[in-house]
Amino acid sequence: MSQEIFFLPDVGEGLIEAEIVTWKVNVGDVVVLNQPLVDVETAKAVVELPSPFAGTVLTLHGQVGDTMEVNQPLVTFDLGGERAPHANEKQVVHDVPDEQRREPVLIGYGVASEEGVPTRRSRRTVANAAQPAPDLTALSEPAGGPVRTTPPVRLLAKQYGIDLATVPATGPDGRVTRGDVEGAHRWADQMPLRGFAPMELHRASRFVGREIDSWSSGAREERIPVKGVLKAMAEAMVQSSTRQPQAAVWTRVDATKTMELLSGLKNHSDFPNIRLSPLTLVALAVCDAARHFPGINSSFDDENNEVIVRRYVNLGIAADTPRGLVVPNIKDADRLDLKSMALELSHLVETARNGTTTPDDMRGTTLTITNVGPFGVDGAMAILPPGTGAIVCVGRIAKAPWVFDDEIVVRHVAELSMTFDHRQIDGALASQVIAHIGTFLEDPAAALLAQ
Amino acid sequence: MIDEELVQLLTPEGERVTHPDYASSLTGEQILSMYRDMVIVRRLCNESTSLQRQGQLALWAPIQGQEGAQIGAGRALAPMDFTFPTYREHGIAWCRGVPPENLLRLFRAVSNGGWDPQKYRHHVPTIVLGNQVLNAVGYAMGIQRDGADEAVLTFFGDGASSQGDVLEGFVWASSFNAPVVFFCQNNQFGISTPSSTQSKVPLYRRARGFGFPGVRVDGNDLLACYEVTKAALENARAGGGPTMIEAYTYRMGAHTTSDDPTRYRVDAEVEVWKHRDPIERIKALLVREYHTKPVAFDAINEEAEAFALKLRDDVLAMGRPDPLSMFDNVYAEPHPLIDEGRRDMAEIRASAGAN
C-alpha cells in the first residue's frame, strides 16, 4: 500500500509551530481531498487544515493540546495502493512536499536544517518502504547511528565540547536542536554529570498565552514581544494602576447554603445539562448588590469631570484562556435569573476557551468578577479593569472551622474581596456592598426569593 | 449604511431596479457567462486557500464576496485597456486571460510575478499598498502622449485609500486629465481597521475634492459594476479624464490566510452580507428572467470542480526556482552589489554542499 504523510505546514508566513485544537477525523476514517482534518492554533489564528490526500487515515501524530513544530508529521494516510490522486510523479516520489522543504530562516539561527532536505537517495528509500511513524515523544533518546541535527548545531556542540549523542533531542524526527545543545551546555556547566538533566526540567510551560521553552532547553534569557492578549493585559493594568486609586475590602462567608442550593439544583429537572457553579450565584449576588447600591456600578470620567452611575450591569468575567487573560462581559446581566445566568456564563466561558471572544464581548464592562477559586487559592488582591468602579474576587470554597450557633462546626467557607476606585467609592459603600454579597451567598434561596 | 447614492441595478434578491444614469445592457448569455466567471473564480479561491493550508502556497488573499465587483469591472474592459491590480484581483486576472496557475506562482513563491504584463494587459500584483495607483496614472499619461484609444483601470481597497500614493495619483490624474479609472473595492476592512475609521466621508466623495467624479456602486451587483465601469472607461478613452468608482462590498473571508477575522468583527455582520452574495443574486436573476435550467448551473459547477483539480495538479508540478535566480530581476542592468550578493550566496551554498 502506498502511504503519504501530511506535514504540518507553515500556515502564516514564518510560523514555527501550531497547537492541535480539534481533530475532525479519526484513525481509520476515509477522507476525500480537501476534507477538514484538524483545527490548529498558531500564534496568529485558529485555522482549519484540509486534507491534501484522498485515502484512509492511518496515524494522527499528536493529541489535542500538543504543540507541533512546522514540518513535523501531522497525519499519515494510506492511499490504498494507488498513487496519490491528482498528484504527479514528483509528488509520489518525494516524501516532503516542496513547500515543507523550504528552510525557515530564523534571525540569528541561519537556515534551520540542511538535513531537512531529503537527498535523492533518501527520497527513494522512503518511497519504496512504508515509513514507520517517527518517534514523536518529546525526548526520544538518541538511537544508534549518527545523531540527526544541522551543521550549525554540530559546530556549536563542538565548540562547547559536548558529545551530541548524549544530548536529549526534542526536534522533529529526533533531531537535536540548537536549544537542546544550549541546554546541555548549561547543565554540563552546573552538574557533575554531562548531559544529565532531570526530566521535569524538559517540560515546556505556558506563559502569557504561549508555550515557552522548559527550564533546561530554553535560552538563558528570553525576550517575548509584547503584543496581542499580553499587550492588552499590560496596557489595561498600567492604565488602571496609574490612573485609578484603588482600595480593597474583604470578608469571609459561610457558603454552605450556596453549595447546598447548587447540589440541589443540579438534580432538578429544570437544570439538565446546565453548568451550575458557585460563580453563578456570585454573579447573581453582585448584580443584586448593584441594584441595592447603584453607586458601586459607577465609573469616573476624567475627561468630563463627572462620575457615571450605570443602572445596568455589564458583568465582566476574568477568564484564563489558552491565549491568556481575557475579560468578556455579560450584557445587562442584572436582568438575568438563575437559569439564564448559568447559561450565559457557560456560553461566555466556552467562547473564551475557544478563542472566539469578539472585541464587542469585551466592551463596556461595568463590574467584574474574578474567580481564583479554581486555582486553589483563598483570595487575591485584584486590580480594576480600567474604567470600571469595582472588581469582586472570589477564592476557593473549602471546608473550614466556623462558629455557628456558638459552636465550632465545619462549614464551607469562602473569602470574598473587592477592589474599588476610591475616587468615587468610599470604604463605607464598599463595605456595604461586600457585606450584601456575603449575605446573599450565606442564604441564596432567601435572597433570590426577595428579588 | 448603504446610502441612496449607491448605484444598483439588481437587488440582493435578484430583482431588477432602475437607475436614472445607468441601465443594464447585458444579454442573458453574457450574464450567464459572467456567472460562470464568478463561480470559477470563487472555486479558484477556495482551492488556493486549501493549498495554502496544505503548505503548498506561502500565502493567499481570499476574494469571496468580491466576485461581482471584479467580474463586473473585468468584463467591462476593452482588450487594449491596461489594468494595475493589488494582490486580491484574481477575478480581474481571470478576465484578462492570465493562466490561473501563473496567478499562483507568486503565492507559491516560485516567481516574482508570473506573467508578461504586456501580453495580458494586466500588471503583476503590487503588494506595496497603493503603489500601483501611481504606476497606473503614469501609464495613463503615457497613453495620452501616444494618443492611443486606451484607458487604464487600477484597483485598490478602502485601506489603501489612506495611502499617500493613492492620493498623489489622484492629484496627477486630475491635473493631467489622465485616462484612468480608479476602482476602489471598499470591502469594509483595511486588514482589521473598519473603513469608517479611515474615512469620515464615503470614499467616493473624496474624488470631488480632487476635481473628478466619484460614483458609489453596489459592489455585490455584477450588472451595476459592469455598467458603471464601462461608462467610466469610455469617458476616459473619450478624453473625459479620471473617475473614481467605489464598489461597496464586503470581504467575506480573511484578509489573507495569515489573518483571523473573528478577532475584529462580529458574526452577525457577516451573516447580513451573506444575504447580499453576488453570485446568488445573479443566479436568482437567471432563473427568474431567463429560465436558466438547473442543468446549466450543474455544468458550471462541474467545470469549476475540474478546473480546481487541474489547478492543484499544475501547482504541485511547479518546480523550485534556482535560489540564485532571486538576484536576476532586481535591476534591469548589471549592478555590482547584486553581483556580490549572488557570488556570496553561491559560495555559501557550495560550502554547505547544496546542489
ipTM over 0.95: no
CA dihedral angle for residue A132, residue A138, residue A141, residue A145, rounded to 10 degrees: 50
CA angle, A192 as apex, A187 and A197 as ends, to 5°? 40
Give me the catalytic one of A86, A268, A412, A422: A422
Q: Do A99 and B55 touch (CB under 8 A)?
A: yes
- B211: its cell numbers: 476635481
Which of A88-97, A164-173, B31-40 is predicted least confidently? A88-97
Determine the average pLDDT of the residues in B19-35.
96
Same domain, B307 and B328: no
Question: Tell me, what's the pLDDT at A159?
Answer: 78
CA distance A307 to chain B (A): 28
Q: pLDDT digits over A227-277, tens only?
A: 877 888 888 899 999 999 999 999 999 999 999 998 888 777 677 777 888
Instruction: Choose the closest CB to B55 out of A86, A97, A114.
Output: A97
Question: Tell me, what's the pLDDT at B44?
Answer: 97
The answer as to whether B317 is a domain residue is yes
pLDDT band at B314 (very low <50, low <70, confident <90, very high): very high
Question: Tell me, what's the pLDDT at B85?
Answer: 97
Rounded Cα gap, residues B63 and B44, in angstroms:
10
Contacts of A97 in chain B (CB under 8 A): 54-56, 316
Q: Do B316 and A91 touch (CB under 8 A)?
A: yes
Contacts of A47 in chain B (CB under 8 A): 53, 257, 260
Mean pLDDT of chain B: 94
pLDDT higher than threshold 60 for residue B133 = yes
Residues within 8 A of B (CB atoms), A 50-109 only: 50-52, 86-88, 90-91, 97-100, 102
Instruction: Choose the closest CB to B54 out of A13, A52, A359.
Output: A52
Q: pLDDT digits over A398-437, tens only?
A: 999 999 888 999 999 999 999 999 999 999 999 999 999 9
Which of A103-107, B107-111, B191-195, B341-345 is predicted least confidently? A103-107
Determine the average pLDDT of the residues in A352-376.
88
Range of the structural domain that residue B345 is part of: 322-355
CB atoms near residue A375 (< 10 Å): 10
Which of A94-98, B123-127, B298-302 is predicted least confidently? A94-98
Contacts of A10 in chain B (CB under 8 A): 55, 58
Determine the average pLDDT of the residues in A343-358.
87
The answer as to whether B50 is a domain residue is yes
pLDDT higher than threshold 90 for residue A326 = no
Same domain, B341 and B314: no
Annotated active-site residue A94? The verdict is no
pLDDT higher than threshold 80 for residue A62 = yes
SS3 A346: helix
Given CB atoms, is B197 within the 8 Å cutoff of chain A? no
Question: Tell me, what's the pLDDT at A145?
Answer: 57
A250 burial via Cβ count (<10 Å: 0-12, 13-18, 19+):
middle
Question: Tell me, what's the pLDDT at A324?
Answer: 79
- The alpha-carbon radius of gyration of chain A (Å, integer) is 28
Query: Nearest to residue B108, comparing CAs of A435, A349, A99?
Result: A99
Same domain, B334 and B294: no
Residues across chain B: 355
CATH number of the domain bearing residue B78: 3.40.50.970
Annotated active-site residue B216? The verdict is no
Domains of chain A: 3-128 (2.40.50.100), 135-224 (4.10.320.10), 229-449 (3.30.559.10)
Contacts of B309 in chain A (CB under 8 A): 86
Determine the average pLDDT of the residues in B155-165.
96
Give how far Cα A400 sits from Cα of A262, A378, A434, Å.
19, 12, 21
- A358: its cell numbers: 469578539
Alpha helices in A246-333 (DSSP H): 256-266, 278-292
Rounded Cα gap, residues B60 and A148, in angstroms:
34
A45-54, A92-101, B225-234, range with greatest mean pLDDT: B225-234
Q: Do B309 and A86 touch (CB under 8 A)?
A: yes
Given CB atoms, is B294 within the 8 Å cutoff of chain A? no
Question: Tell me, what's the pLDDT at A123?
Answer: 34
Determine the average pLDDT of the residues in B205-214.
96
Given CB atoms, is B257 within the 8 Å cutoff of chain A? yes
Same domain, B254 and B178: yes
Given CB atoms, is A16 within the 8 Å cutoff of chain B? no
pLDDT higher than threshold 80 for residue A209 = no
Ramachandran category for residue B283: left, alpha or beta (phi over 0 → left; psi -120 to 50 → alpha) = alpha
Instruction: Choose the closest CB to B53 out of A50, A88, A360.
Output: A50
CA distance B53 to chain A (A): 5
Determine the average pLDDT of the residues in B91-118.
94
pLDDT band at A189 (very low <50, low <70, confident <90, very high): low
Same domain, B177 and B245: yes
The answer as to whether B23 is a domain residue is no
Question: Tell me, what's the pLDDT at A265?
Answer: 84
The answer as to whether B1 is a domain residue is no
Same domain, B355 and B278: no
pLDDT band at B68 (very low <50, low <70, confident <90, very high): very high
Question: Tell me, what's the pLDDT at B22?
Answer: 96
Question: Tell me, what's the pLDDT at A101?
Answer: 37
pLDDT band at B48 (very low <50, low <70, confident <90, very high): very high
CB of A79 closer than 8 Å to CB of A4: yes
Same domain, B153 and B302: yes
Same domain, B326 and B316: no
Question: Tell me, what's the pLDDT at A99?
Answer: 39
Annotated active-site residue B139? The verdict is no
Same domain, B304 and B329: no
CA B49 to chain CA centroid, nearest Å: 17
CB atoms near residue A293 (< 10 Å): 16
pLDDT higher than threshold 60 for residue B284 = yes
Which of A200-204, A283-287, B68-72, B110-114 is predicted least confidently? A200-204
Q: Do A98 and B352 touch (CB under 8 A)?
A: no
CA distance A14 to chain B (A): 9
Given CB atoms, is A125 within the 8 Å cutoff of chain B? no
Which of A80-89, A155-164, A262-271, B288-297 is predicted least confidently? A80-89
Determine the average pLDDT of the residues in A446-450.
87
Question: Tell me, what's the pLDDT at A23?
Answer: 94
Q: Do A44 and B259 touch (CB under 8 A)?
A: yes
Same domain, B139 and B162: yes
Same domain, B90 and B236: yes
The answer as to whether B5 is a domain residue is no
CA nearest to B109 within chain A = A99
Question: Tell me, what's the pLDDT at B234?
Answer: 97
The answer as to whether B41 is a domain residue is yes
Domains in chain B: how many in total?
A: 2
CB of B82 closer than 8 Å to CB of B120: no
Same domain, B354 and B310: no
Q: pLDDT digits over A11-31, tens only?
A: 877 788 888 999 999 999 999
Question: Tell me, what's the pLDDT at B2?
Answer: 44
Determine the average pLDDT of the residues in B212-237.
97
Given CB atoms, is B201 within the 8 Å cutoff of chain A? no
The answer as to whether B9 is a domain residue is no
Rounded Cα gap, residues B189 and B107, in angstroms:
22
The answer as to whether B105 is a domain residue is yes
